[in-house]
Amino acid sequence: MTLVDTRTPNPDYFIAGATGDWEMVIGLEVHAQVTSESKLFSGSSTRFGEPPNNNVSFVDAAMPGMLPVINEECVRQAVRTGLGLKAKINKRSLFDRKNYFYPDLPQGYQISQFKDPIVGEGEVYLDMGDKVGEVTIGIERLHLEQDAGKSIHDQHPNMSFVDLNRSGVALMEIVSKPDIRSSAEARAYITKLRTILRYLGTCDGNMEQGSLRADINVSVRKPGGEFGTRCEIKNINSVRFAGQAIEYEARRQIDILEDGGEVVQQTRLFDPKTGETRSMRSKEEAHDYRYFPDPDLLPLEFDDALIEELAQNLPELPDEKQARLMADYGITKYDAGVLVASRASADFYESVAKGRDGKLAANWVINDLFGRLSKEGLDVRTSPVDAGQLGGIVDLISSGDISGKIAKELFEIVWSEGGNPAQIVEQRGMKQVSDTGAIEKIVDEIIAANPEQVGKVKDKPSMIGWFVGQVMKATQGKANPQAVNKILREKLGL
Amino acid sequence: MSVDTDTVKRIGHLARIRVEEQDLDSLADELNNILGFVEQLNEVDVEGVMPMTSVIPMRQRLRPDQVNDGGYAPKIVANAPLSEDNFFMVPKVVE
């Protein structure tokens, strides 16, 4: 891979050092578990959380004479993902053996794609806010490979336990170009990639279950200068840890360089407890994987028809959906960005917004509903208020039947008790009083009962607020505030 | 291309094959003989020829995504020198 610098150095990202400013250069290798029923080269299950070695066939355990046969769906998922990343699909790709010894790798090699991956160069777009704007991160490649098993070290004083359930599960390794220039961009990149994968349905993106893990290459340089020596931080399984690991690692490298030292290329591990990275105890030759084409597997070839079929059935992706929501519902880029963060949120919003005021719907979905959901640790799929109910509340506001304040109360009732918003408003007499005759009558009563205040308000017009409050009190908050204001001003001669 | 005794040692280690010190020289000679033989292939002009990864002129066959194997953990660990609760047990490996 030839390194090409596609970015203009951005002073906002510079890190101040004793000898001047520094700039980070970051590239990511994301391992995404392919969503499939069975493994990449065997018919055993990929289900998470099964008893030890239950999801293991003789192929996965590398018993003598067992041969791999590739899973068609895994190939399709890789192509779908490639299309979602606007990448070049390689109609002919090869599988290679990556050789190393470890107890959780029974074959003694991982079947991977080295020279000819299934997917080539693509792009991911990040919205880095008003200041930095949109950033394009290049994708170098995507290839299919097998996952390894799992070693457990805390069950026995001097033995490790090995569970091969994950052994042979299909992974997509998605390699970015070294286009990332800050920990914020790295976090945004992982988040965006995860969103795209979830939209496509090609990886569930559950980082806590290990379905998505990142190896992060970090180096530092003088802004816009030559690329520095990089270190690779292995197996990061949370977006937050990615940010912390990068910040620590960049600082560590700057300190070394400013002390006149040299960064040694090495593999490092991030410790979430200390927030630090440390060198992995690995031997020089461990990196000699002696790749060669796997003689058990023929070249993987397919034709344009398969690519076209998959392209036609691709769902609307986050960037397109964001643009469409802005155009169709007149909402801001920011709001649309929040809504498309998950397909479920966007779908929910669209059910609420359809045929209604899009901006009002966005406010209620994002501020009231999402705000409340995140406070309660729920998400849109487990929301006690469904799209129909929230749409009903929006309707009542739009028609002027309830005020914004009453709407909040109504939302609370629907949240905790459920029910049809229009019926609740009817039954509990929550309707806003817009009938000017009724409001005038109340205003007259209040003016008559408070001659002292009426005298004061002539000199101090801001006192009108007190009168509004009295009217609201008398109507239990149901009077239309605009109407109340208008009538009061007329009657008080303001 | 030729190999020396250090390379032989390294290849042996990578393949987890124990190579005795007194065998290094003769193994290096043998390997160099083989490499010398293979070297002759460099005389062939392969300009514009795609590397052959298989001798069979057919595409890779694909299988449908169905779970039809596994579910026999006791058989998987049956030959393991040590196992517990259907886990393989191996000498402790901690990074």
Domain residue ranges in chain A: 12-309, 316-427, 436-492
Which residue do the tokens 């006149």 mark?
A260
Please determine, for residue A436, whether its predicted confidence score (pLDDT) is greater than 60.
yes
CB A215: neighbour CB atoms within 10 A? Answer: 17
d(CA B15, CA B4): 17
Q: Which of the residue ranges A29-38, A103-112, A433-442 would you say has the lowest mean pLDDT?
A: A433-442
Residue A300 touches partner B, C-beta closer than 8 Å = yes
Q: From the list A44, A69, A300, which residue is nearest B63 (CB)?
A: A69
Non-local CB neighbours of B7 within 8 Å, separated by 6+ positions: B28
Contact B61/B73 with Cβ under 8 angstroms? Answer: no
- Which residue ranges make up each domain of chain B? 5-41
The average pLDDT across A140-161 equals: 94
Q: From the list B10, B73, B92, which residue is nearest A52 (CB)?
A: B73
d(CA A42, CA A66): 10
Q: Which DSSP string do the residues of A317-369 spell out, in sequence order?
A: PHHHHHHHHHHHH---HHHHHHHTTSHHHHHHHHHHHTTS-HHHHHHIIIIII
Tokens representing A177 are 């170009």
Residues of B in contact with A51 (CB under 8 A): 73, 86
Using CB atoms within 10 Å of the CB of residue A309, give its burial: 0 to 12 exposed, 13 to 18 middle, 19+ buried: exposed
Instruction: Kindly indicate the confidence band of residue A118, based on its pLDDT and cuts at 50, 70 and 90.
Output: very high
For residue B71, the model assigns a pLDDT of 97
- Predicted confidence (pLDDT) per residue in A329-378, tens digit: 999 999 999 999 999 999 999 999 999 999 999 999 999 999 999 999 99
- Predicted confidence (pLDDT) per residue in A369-417, tens digit: 999 999 999 999 999 999 999 999 999 999 888 888 889 999 999 999 9
> What is the average pLDDT score of chain A?
92
Which regions of chain B are under pLDDT 70?
Answer: 1, 94-95
Which residue do the tokens 């970090």 mark?
A218
Q: Pick the residue of A36, A48, A56, A268 with the most B CBs within 10 A to test the interface with B by mutation.
A: A56
Q: Pick the residue of B8, B11, B62, B83 with the most A CBs within 10 A to test the interface with A by mutation.
A: B62
Give domain A436-492's CATH architecture.
Orthogonal Bundle (1.10)
Using CB atoms within 10 Å of the CB of residue A259, give its burial: 0 to 12 exposed, 13 to 18 middle, 19+ buried: exposed
- With a pLDDT cut of 90, the percent of chain A lying above it is 74
User: For A269, which residue in chain B has the nearest alpha carbon?
Assistant: B95
For residue A449, the model assigns a pLDDT of 87
Q: Pick the residue of A115, A161, A297 with the most B CBs within 10 A to test the interface with B by mutation.
A: A161
Contact A43/B67 with Cβ under 8 angstroms? Answer: yes
- Predicted confidence (pLDDT) per residue in A241-281, tens digit: 999 999 999 999 999 999 999 999 989 999 999 999 999 86
Residues 2-31 of B with CB under 8 A from A: 10, 13-14, 16
Residues of B in contact with A298 (CB under 8 A): 53-54, 56, 58-61
CB A300: neighbour CB atoms within 10 A? Answer: 21
The average pLDDT across A308-321 equals: 97
For residue A411, the model assigns a pLDDT of 95
Instruction: Kindly indicate the confidence band of residue A161, based on its pLDDT and cuts at 50, 70 and 90.
Output: very high
Q: Which residues pair with A151 in a beta bridge?
A: A162
Using CB atoms within 10 Å of the CB of residue A351, give its burial: 0 to 12 exposed, 13 to 18 middle, 19+ buried: middle
Pairwise CB contact (< 8 Å): A53 & B86 = yes
Instruction: Kindly indicate the confidence band of residue A282, based on its pLDDT and cuts at 50, 70 and 90.
Output: low
For residue A281, the model assigns a pLDDT of 62
For residue A457, the model assigns a pLDDT of 83
Residue B82 touches partner A, C-beta closer than 8 Å = yes
Q: From the list B65, B77, B86, which residue is nearest A38 (CB)?
A: B65
Please determine, for residue A474, whether its predicted confidence score (pLDDT) is greater than 90.
no
For residue A1, the model assigns a pLDDT of 60
Which residue do the tokens 């010894």 mark?
A101
d(CA A24, CA A182): 6
Contact A357/A322 with Cβ under 8 angstroms? Answer: no
The residue type at A256? I
This model of the complex carries an ipTM of: 0.88
User: For A95, which residue in chain B has the nearest alpha carbon?
Assistant: B53
Least Cα separation, residue A372 to chain B (angstroms): 40
The average pLDDT across A210-229 equals: 95
The H-assigned helical ranges of A208-332 are 239-258, 304-312, 318-329
Q: What percentage of chain B's residues is helix, strand, coil (to nearest 5)? A: 40, 10, 50
Residue B86 touches partner A, C-beta closer than 8 Å = yes
